[in-house]
Amino acid sequence: MDQLLLPDLPKGFIDAAYRKKQQKRRARYGKIASYLILTIVPALIFQDFYVVKAPQMLPWRLLNIAAAIVYLGLSLFKRESWLAFGYQFLLMSVMAMMCGLMVALDYSNLSLIGNVTTIFIVTIMSGGGAAWLAPVLLVPILGLYTYAFVWGNVPWSKWPLLSNPLIISIVALTAAEVQERLRYREFSANMRALWQKGKSDFLLGSLLPKQVIRELDDLGEAPPFVVHNAVILYATIDGLNIHTLSLPPERLLNLLGIIFQAFDQIIEQKNLEKLKIAGEGYYAGAGVFMQPHQNLAEVAISAAREMILWLQDYSKSKQSKELPEMHVKVGIYQGTVIGGLLKTNQLIFDIWGEAVQMAMNLQAYAPPDSIVISEEVKSQIQDTLILEKLQQWNTRNNFKSYCLRV
């Protein structure tokens, strides 16, 4: 863990996420448009031949159908670039069909109404800004003008009528760009708000136990508590304090972050509860917040063993080159725990009680890479393989304790 605070959300990340959202929107619109074309255009072909008597519209109708089939075919491959091109081609074919209709109906006012309506529909379904929409609208319209005034011998007196699609297209492009910018701004604001909430949750999670955070969210406060039969695991990094002054502050904090992050993962995997970190001391519990679901003593010892083994492996790795020799010392005790938030101007969670004090005392007498437990904890261990590795250990408190070397 290189740093405690999460960095600000990069703009490139927001842009990539927004493009993904755009692609999903276009994919949804593309399928809707394709199915509508395949449903409606055959009926229009029938109308062209038998009602309107305008068979010259057939090539434009077939272009529409071909574009819809191509798009649905491309959607099977799920290639984003292919789908983007296919959707542009699909909408462009709709615009081309309406431009063809203007030619077939001799540039009448009726055909102009259809063309303008199509521009608005295409703009709404484009799912993008002006840069994406411009080829869809302008290529068919410029093609229409080229045909009309170069090969179609349309008099320039028709220009006021024919200029309307171009004017409407420019207005539509402007509206699409404004709409897209507003969408992006809203999306960016939502992403940044979620990111800031994630940063707050991350900071709270590094300072407070999960159950305390849930109580603060649900109740607005976290009342103090007393648990009479909880297991406390207290672990320290032996050997690190001797060399603390020789390490740069950044490297020391980075090292502690790496170690405690690994401990967090072990504690979470074992369904134990991380309680707090104080200096190079790590406190975890079993049965403090959650109802016991298994043998608490065995689970705590198993977690302590994994913490020791992890640091042993890490000390042998290249990452620990030129670092001091480090060992884990663990004390485990079962008894009464008192916990809660201190009434200060900061959120400070702490734990007290017999179990906490005795776990610290047991840890103080633990040899490097070992776990010292009380007799009560020992009595709950059912696994004979673990019992064989235990040996009696006498502390100054005149009660029996046992040491498990790893």
Quote the pLDDT of residue 2.
41
End-to-end alpha-carbon separation of the chain, Å? Answer: 26
Residue 13 CB-density burial (10 A; 0-12 exposed, 13-18 middle, 19+ buried): exposed
Amino acid at 76: L
**Higher confidence at residue 222 or residue 379?**
379
Quote the pLDDT of residue 1.
40
Q: Which two tokens stand for residue 279?
A: 């200096």
Cα angle 292-294-296, degrees, rounded to a multiple of 5: 70
CA separation for the pair 160, 141 (Å, rounded):
14
Contact 233, 304 (CB under 8 A): yes
As beta bridge partners, residue 329 has 236, 370
Min mean pLDDT across 34-43, 72-81, 176-185 is at 72-81
DSSP state of 236: E
Ordered domains of the chain (ranges, CATH): 11-196 (no CATH), 210-405 (3.30.70.1230)
Residue 72 CB-density burial (10 A; 0-12 exposed, 13-18 middle, 19+ buried): middle
3-state secondary structure of 402: strand
Per-residue exposure over 387-397, b if at least 16 CB sit within 10 Å of its own CB, e if not: eeebeebebee
- Taking only Cα atoms into account, the Rg of the chain, rounded to an integer number of angstroms, comes to 36
Q: What is the pLDDT of residues 328-373, one digit of tens each?
A: 999 999 888 888 887 666 677 888 888 899 999 889 888 899 898 8
Asked whether the predicted pLDDT for residue 193 surpasses 90, the reply is: no
Q: Considering the chain, what is the average pLDDT of its residues?
A: 82
Cβ neighbours, 10 Å, residue 377: 24
DSSP state of 6: P
Using a pLDDT cut of 70, give the percent of the chain over it. Answer: 86
Asked whether the predicted pLDDT for residue 148 surpasses 60, the reply is: yes
User: Which uninterrupted H or E stretch holds 351?
Assistant: strand 349-352
**Backbone dihedral angles phi then psi of residue 204, each to the nearest 5 degrees:** -60, -40
**Distances in whole angstroms, Cα of residue 296 to Cα of each of 28, 233, 273, 292, 339:** 52, 11, 11, 7, 19
Quote the pLDDT of residue 66.
92
Helices of type H across 225-295: 249-269
Contact 233, 345 (CB under 8 A): no
